[in-house]
Chains A and B, each alone.
Chain A
Amino acid sequence: MLEASATNGKTDDVWIPSACRICYSHCAIRVHRVDGVVVKIEGNPDSPANKGRICARGLSGMMQLYDPKRLNVPLKRTNPNKGIGVDPGWVEITWEEALDTIAERLKKTRAEDPRKLLCAASVAVWDAMHVNLCFTTAFGSPNYFFTGAGTHCGNAEHLMSGVLHGAFTCQPDPDYCKYLLNFGVPVGCGAHYANNAMAQRLADARVNGMRHVVIDPWMGMAAEKADEWIPIRPGTDSAMALAMLNVILNDLGIYDVEHLKHHTNGPYLIGGDGHYVRHSKSGKPLVWDAASGQAKEFDDASVGDFALEGTYSANGVSAQPAFALLKEHVQRYTPEIASEITTVPAATIRRIAKEFAEAARVGSTIVIDGKTLPYRPASVVYFKGSQGHRHATLSAMAFELLGEVLGAANVPGATLGANSRSLGFPETGRPAYSPFADRDGLCAPGAWVTPDPPLPLRQSRKPEAAHFQDLVSTVCVCSPLIPFGMLEPEKYGIPYKVDMVIQTGSNLVTTLADPRVMERALRGAFVVNFNIFLDESAELADIMLPDASYLERHDIYLESMHSIVPTGWWHSTVAQPIVEPMYQRRPAQEMLLELARRAGMLGDMYSVMNVFYGLHEPYLLDPNETYTWEEVIDRRYKSLFGPERGLEWFKKHGVLSWPKKVEETYWAPFVKVRAPIYFEFLQTAGEDIERVKKECGIQEFETSDFQPLPDWKPCQSHVEPRKDFDLYCLYYRVPFHTFTSTYNNPWLDEISRIDPYVYNVTMNTETARKKGIADGDWIEIESAGTGVTAKGRVRVSQCVHPEVIAVGSGGGHWSRHLPVASQSEKGVCFEWLLPLNFDYVDTVSFNQDLCVKVKATRMAEQPRKTGTGWTVAPVPPGLLP
């Protein structure tokens, strides 16, 4: 029960600690409740992460709680015809009927083939996402899929963060960084990990002299606050990075020799086939010991001097150290060639390369807590935008290598893996994890958000899951190709067809590129959605279940993701209800446990939860017992922090924190692993995938990008042959919205309307003038990829690259049950313009290509403003019946 106190004549007037869960930053909050009503939300100053600060979304949380359009009762469809814009004919049912119906379907599917169930979740409903994962695993299905803004994830960044930083993602070191080279990430500016926590820290870093350079086609939240904004043609950032690498390695000759020799695979010998030359007996990669003039195993303690350059004979083959190959490989990327590709002047590329390399202060050291560490105050960050292209992995490689050759990784001032290493809460030593060496000595993450970290490398297998991650073993996060595994399983040898889908919070139809593809995939399945609204995906559901919002439920707080500020303090925060669930709303977590019970799989669910939540004796869940959701949370807290610190302790105190150790934050000098600067494992993975493809007769999933060194290659949008499709359309994250989930919030709507750009599309002033388009005009934007035409109202600005139309993310809703969001002037749903097919997906990481060529023309007949908005359809005409 919630604590209440009587003051000022009120029956109830309390501030309750909890966590905001409108985005995955999960800031610590305190919520003011008066007479049972939430009246205010503030940041919790006890948290060492967000230090009492929250963003606009966090402040507006009660508008979501009390939104009159919330889904409050279970519904079932009566119209058998499913489709976008088709009224499902909802009728109210009881929870009993809903749960019984679903449980019967689950039992039948599990008995036939458990793989026919697909579960989907949203990172915007983080906690249910993990319970949903446990549910899927316990059920026995491989088909689990979680989405942020759908497939618009940082797949390639996650892959590279895993193998170079031992972490799911990275952040710049806010305490010591002096030069932040930012390829389009709104870090500390509204829409990246640990949003509020990093905002304050990076603002302080700027005051302390950190230079911030942002490369981005759109002057977004980071660029507008930076020292320098460098506009660039979309999808070409890696060409600039490669040219910078060439300048740094070959013109300036600045690189960290000690780091390359001892902390990377730079000395590993590479044969003519592109693979490591391996020891004939142990199979370990060989290096050349310049001191003894011999080839030796990479971990041979007698190596006196690792050669980084030269040509040697080892195992009877001619071989070169990986570093030498990298140095030679990037020579083709001169600043002049990169300038042609990127539109960034060659002189600018040279200058930024020099500034960055010099800022890294190769050779310098710093003493922190009595420990002498390398000091490399230069950091590179990149995420969705710059790596969101067809060749995402090769781009991510290029960005990472800028820091890696300078030793600017996981040491003071550099790019840091976010929570790569934990030595545990001092009293219990938990959670404890650390990067570790795979069989080739490369960095494998100690903790990962999913069961499949990028290293150690998995073997490719015949596709069994609809998301194809068993075939493409390098994919360690989301798969935009999942609809194809659902629609045509036989084509890929998947031995069943998905016929049941359970979603928690995800709006798959508006977040997974072309909505028509997911529409087709969901049509053939029995679909159950937990949601707080009847959003666009509800139109494809068979049963809708009213979820509780974060102010109405308990959650488990996962430290590895939310304590994602790289420096300072670890913290764990309570996530508790402020009010009881209203109407018939019930938390999805609890209902999934109830469904597991009714389907006869609760014991299996507990077995999986024991693993997933890292429970220990005496707090393991017994498969033969029954626990409430609160008891599960209590056991997790106690497993981590000891018997004194269970759920009750957290409810009362709110936050538990302890300082990060130098060995955790700046772990590289303390852990014996090597970062790849030559990605031989990708070549191995590509060959393995080809083998399986051949065995199974699969044509798709071409593997030409499984190469060990980076290149810039054109995306579909760069080779569009039709000249009138002359603009790149891209979207940018809006700091006061979380994907598509917040657009019905009236306070956030008000900010969005005040902002000149969010609900409009932005075009370069000069480009618009040449096309006869004026500020405020309505235009038609026709996609070269989908053939769909969307309509948007133009704002002209010099803050966007001349070849670009920029769209705010998450807008353009059409659900009639989201009356605030679904109005014609509330933005463009970018997904209509973005194709969903194999040509728009990076085959190494499954990153969705996020830019598309479009044709923009002023509408001959300009819409009129009426009392209810503009006379423009929110969904492209012809797509609604």
Chain B
Amino acid sequence: MRLRRIVMPEIARAGEVIEIRTVILHPMITGHTAAGAGVSGRRIVHTFHVHYDGAEVFRAELGPGIAANPLLTFTTVATRTGDVVFTWMDDTGETAVETRLLTVAPA
């Protein structure tokens, strides 16, 4: 299992903008070889998406130009209590999923 880290509040008020930070330990191998043309053995996280209370609130398509151990920070608006589900997918089909409960108090 790849180490990952998610930093976000556990509790927010309805309507509040919250910041979410994520990091995953991943080598992001571009597959470009020193020998020159051609790509082989590419292994990067190509997609990262986040669902909150069932709806997608953030999505990133990553390319080979992204450095190892991608650190992604974004904001979203707290609406109501629900799970925030983070998914990273890499070239080998490996998928990492993390879930955090966000408790929302009335504004």
Instruction: Answer yes or no: are A and B bound together in one complex.
Output: no
| Interfacial residues, chain A to chain B (CB-CB below 8 A) | none
